[in-house]
Amino acid sequence: MNWLLYSIIEEGIMTRKFMLILVVCSMIMALPGGVGLRLDRAAAQADVPVGACAGLTAENYSSAACDAEIAAHPLPALVRPVTYDPVRDGEAEPRSFLWPEEPLLYPVGWQRRAWYFSDAPGVLPADDDWTNARRIGRAEMFYVYKSVEVNGEIWHLIGPGRWMHDEYVSALRIPDRPDGVSGQWVALDLNQQTLIAFVDDTPVFSTLISSGYYLDTTLGLFQVYARADAMVMRGPPGADPPKYEFYTRWVMFFNMHQGLHAMPYHNYFGIKRSHGCVNVPPGDEEWLWNFFEETVEAWDPSGTATFAVDHPEAAPWVYVYESPALPVWP
C-alpha cells in the first residue's frame, strides 16, 4: 500500500466553499479476466424477456401479441426505500428501489430526462405530435420489453407502441459476480449509469448514478480503502488553485481520488457529469453507507475516527464496468 498526499477532489456544482487536505492511501486492484455480463440469471432478473415482445425486430416492431404481453406484465409496485428530504437531498431526487424476492420479468428502466416516445424505433413523432401525451417524465420507471438497433442507435420498447431512444433510458443489467468477490458489493455500470448493491449473487438495491464525464471513472475491480461521514472536496486533480469546492456526505473512496459520495447539487442522475467520482442521490448514498455498515466490524472497526479503513483487503468490493449497448435477445 502506497501512501500519497492528496488534496481531496471531486466534481459537481460549486456551491459551497470549504477546503480540506487529507492523507489518503491508494489501492487499485486489477480487473480479473473472464468477468462478463450475464443476461439470463433468472434467480435475480430475467434480463432477456421471453414471449412475443422478444421476437420483435427493427423492421417488425409491433404486434398484438406483444401489446397483450405488456398489458399482462406491467412493472410491479416496487419498494422505494428512500423518500425525499429537502435538507439532506437538496436538488437531488432519490431514484432507488429494493429488489423483490420474486424475479423481475424484464429489465427495469428509468427515464434519464423527460422526452417523447415514438411509435416505431428510429422514427420521431410527427411535427404536430410532440404533445404531453407522449412525454415521459424524468425519473419515471418502467419495464424494458425489447431493445433493437436502428442505424447504429439503440431504441427501447417501454410500453405498447412506445419506443424510446437509448439516450433517455438507463436500463438495469445484471453482471456476473467477479471472481473472489463475496458478501456485500456494488456494481457500477458506466454505460447505463446504474448502481446495484448485492449480497453475493442476490441484488438488493438499485439506483442511478452520475460517473465521470470531464475525467473518466476507471474501469476495474476495487475495494473501499478510505471513507468519511462528511467532508469537503475540491478539484479537479492537479488544479492549483482548485476550480471547485463543495461539502458532501457518506464518502467512500475505492480508487485513488475516485469514490462514491452524495451529490445534492444536481438532479441529472443517469447522465455522466463528474470529474471521476461517482455521484449518488444523497438519500440513496446514505442507504448504501448503512448497508456497508452492517459488516463494518470486519473491515473498519475504528469507524470514521480514522480516514483509511482498518482492513481494506476485507472491505466491500466496487466493480466498475460497462455493459453492452444492446442486450443479446433470444
Per-domain residue ranges for the chain? 2-33+174-321, 53-90+102-171
Number of neighbours of residue 166 by Cβ within 10 angstroms: 18
CA distance 302 to 236: 30
User: Which band of pLDDT confidence, cut at 50, 70 and 90, is reported for residue 328?
Assistant: low
Average pLDDT of every residue of the chain: 87
Choose among 93, 134, 141, 138: nearest CA to 112: 138
CA distance 193 to 209: 5
What fold does the segment set 2-33+174-321 form as a domain? L,D-transpeptidase catalytic domain-like (2.40.440)
Q: What is the pLDDT of residue 4?
A: 32
Q: What is the pLDDT of residue 47?
A: 38
204 CB burial (10 A radius; 0-12, 13-18, 19+): middle
H/E element holding 5?
strand 2-7
- 3-state secondary structure (DSSP) of residue 127: coil
Identity at 313, one-letter amino acid code: E
Q: What is the pLDDT of residue 151?
A: 95
CA distance 193 to 85: 23
Whether pLDDT at 50 is above 80: no
Q: What is the pLDDT of residue 51?
A: 83
Residue range 19-34, pLDDT digits in tens: 333 333 333 333 443 3
Choose among 301, 314, 297: nearest CA to 224: 314
Angle CA 160–148–62, to nearest 5: 35
List, as one string, the DSSP characters of 28-94: --PPPTT--B-S--TTTB--S--STGGG--SSS---HHHHHHHHHSPPP--B------HHHHTT---
Please give the average per-residue pLDDT across 70-84, as a whole number: 96
Residue range 98-114, pLDDT digits in tens: 999 999 999 999 999 99
Q: Which residue has the higher pLDDT, 28 or 239?
A: 239
